[in-house]
Copies of this chain bind each other. A is one copy, B any other.
Amino acid sequence: MKLSDAKLQFVASWGAFGTHWGINRTMAQVHALLMVSPDALNQDNLMEQLNISRGNVNMNIRELIDWGLVDRVLLPGQRKEYFTAEKDIWKVVRLIIKERKKRELDPMLKLLEQLKEVEGDKKDRQVKQFVDTVNGIKHFGQQADKMLDVMIKADENWFVGSLMKFFK
């Protein structure tokens, strides 16, 4: 397979993959393209290679920068802005975990904390099932929260070494 075709396939698949993870297809494609590009790219490069508009590139690049996945780079003697993506997959994963934990898990735990205070007779089947379900999810969420915190802080060697050995 030729490099150009391989890139195309990679970008397309990463985009499709992204949609299953609450990430917009184009954002994932921009990210994919930058990950396999050794050199920084500018907005025009991205517009051309992905066939998308300037506004679209701009919006998605901004979002990727917010996530910490892409950096703005100023090349000396160049007026244009260039962009590079973090290439170390383990760092990428940690950035994503960190951001999603903040945006999704933390607010969910906060809500569950409130919901378990529901009024009513704990003997009532309805009340009991609600409280049990909420507590079960909260308990699991708190465990996951701790685990993710450790992962966010850990470096790759620790992860591949200790954790992966743990999982045989």
Interface residues of A (CB under 8 A from B): 1-3, 6-7, 9-10, 13, 17, 19-22, 35-39, 87-90, 93, 100, 103-104, 108, 111, 114-115, 117-120, 124-130, 132-134, 136-137, 139-140, 143, 146-147, 150, 160, 163-164, 166-168
Q: Is A3 touching B126 in the complex (CB atoms < 8 A)?
A: yes
Q: Is A115 touching B6 in the complex (CB atoms < 8 A)?
A: yes
List residues of chain B with CB within 8 A of the CB of A139: 89
Q: Is B136 touching A164 in the complex (CB atoms < 8 A)?
A: no
| Nearest-neighbor residue (CB-CB) of A137 within chain B | B89
CB distance from A85 to the nearest CB of B (A): 9
Complex CA gap A7/B150 in Å reads 32
Interchain CB contact (< 8 A) of A147 among B2, B36, B132, B164: B164
Q: Is A168 touching B150 in the complex (CB atoms < 8 A)?
A: yes
Given A1-B115, A3-B118: A147 touches B163 (CB 8 Å cut-off):
yes
Given A89-B140, A115-B10: A130 touches B3 (CB 8 Å cut-off):
yes
Q: Is B38 touching A88 in the complex (CB atoms < 8 A)?
A: no
Given A22-B21, A87-B129, A129-B38: A119 touches B3 (CB 8 Å cut-off):
yes
List residues of chain B with CB within 8 A of the CB of A167: 143, 146-147, 150
Complex CA gap A2/B166 in Å reads 44
Complex CA gap A148/B111 in Å reads 28
Given A22-B19, A163-B147, A168-B146: A1 touches B117 (CB 8 Å cut-off):
yes
